[in-house]
Amino acid sequence: AQKITQTQPGMFVQEKEAVTLDCTYDTSDQSYGLFWYKQPSSGEMIFLIYQGSYDEQNATEGRYSLNFQKARKSANLVISASQLGDSAMYFCAMREVYGGATNKLIFGTGTLLAVQP
Amino acid sequence: EAQVTQNPRYLITVTGKKLTVTCSQNMNHEYMSWYRQDPGLGLRQIYYSMNVEVTDKGDVPEGYKVSRKEKRNFPLILESPSPNQTSLYFCASSLRGRGREKLFFGSGTQLSVL
């Protein structure tokens, strides 16, 4: 069964520094996709970045990059040059890409990031 | 503006009083889904729908009902709410719910059952 693990319940980072949020996953599928979402205190879910299991390069979106290590089954989110507005809950999620009985996005338990001035 | 609209944003009710949380999307998406978010558990899928009149259970469907009579609407029904259904609920949609498609989320409904 698919499973997402985020082992860091909470983290602090100084403004302008980089931070890595950990995500490991478990799946027997060969084709899958990994997503990161941000949830600020206002509650909405904001899509940040996507990595496909067969993508040759690690995904990047502005200050967000995904450190994808397929053999280790990890998909860590790296935020460069942290800003106060990055303070939020961050969720890692996974979906199988081809076939399968369901198409749900499975979420981890989240990491609460606090950026300090 | 492309969006998923949930109502109400906040809801306080009492045990046993039937309620409906509405969800509507304006993107012509086939796939819609409901999640609940609880501290320490992340988001868990309640029900999903692949298209009109096609719905199926997610991981935590007990105590919930859904319907998909129109493509744009996917209401969540709690026939007899209980305190353990106090949670933050999200409706989400995507074109077909497959592959690289990201989910578009509503703004959430914070439900408290007393």
pLDDT at A99 > cutoff 70: no
Would you say residue A102 has pLDDT above 80? Answer: no
* Secondary-structure percent of chain A, ordered helix, strand, coil, rounded to 5: 5, 50, 45
- Residue A31: the pLDDT is 86
Phi-psi region of A49 (alpha: psi -120 to 50; beta: other; left: phi over 0): beta
pLDDT digits (tens, 9 = 90+) for A21-60: 999 999 888 888 999 999 999 999 999 999 999 988 999 9
Contacts of B3 in chain A (CB under 8 A): none
Best probe of the B interface among A7, A45, A94, by most B CBs < 10 A, is: A45
List of chain B residues whose C-beta atoms are within 8 Å of the C-beta of residue A98: 99
Q: Which one of A33, A43, A45 has the shortest CB-CB distance to B99?
A: A33
Check whether A97 has a pLDDT greater than 80: no
A100 touches chain B (CB under 8 A): no
> Residues A17-30: pLDDT tens digits?
999 999 999 988 88
Alpha-carbon gap, residue A92 to A107, rounded angstroms: 6
Q: Which residues contact B74 (CB under 8 A, 6 or more apart)?
A: B23, B24, B25, B32, B34, B49, B66, B67, B68, B91, B93
A100 has a pLDDT exceeding 80: no
Q: What pLDDT score does A98 carry?
A: 61
Task: Please give the average per-residue pLDDT across A65-91, as a whole number.
Answer: 97
Which of A68-77, A92-101, A102-111: highest mean pLDDT?
A68-77
DSSP, residue by residue, A86-107: G-EEEEEEEEE-S--S--PPEE
CA–CA gap between residue B93 and residue B1 (Å, rounded): 15
Among chain B residues, CA nearest to A108? B42
Q: Between the CA of residue B36 and those of A61, A72, B111, what are the distances in Å?
A: 28, 29, 10
Whether residue B42 and residue A107 make contact (CB cut-off 8 A), yes or no, is yes
Q: Which residues of chain B have pLDDT under 70?
A: none
Q: Is the pLDDT of residue A15 over 70?
A: yes
In order of A29, A37, A44, A85, B61, the CA distances from B24 in angstroms are 32, 21, 16, 29, 20
B105 → chain A, closest CA residue: A45
Mean pLDDT of A88-99: 86
Q: How confident is the model at residue A2 (pLDDT cuts 50, 70, 90)?
A: confident
Nearest chain B residue (CA) to A95? B99
* Best residue of B103, B109, B111 to probe chain A, by most A CBs closer than 10 Å: B103
**Can you tell me whether residue A85 is helix, strand or coil?**
helix
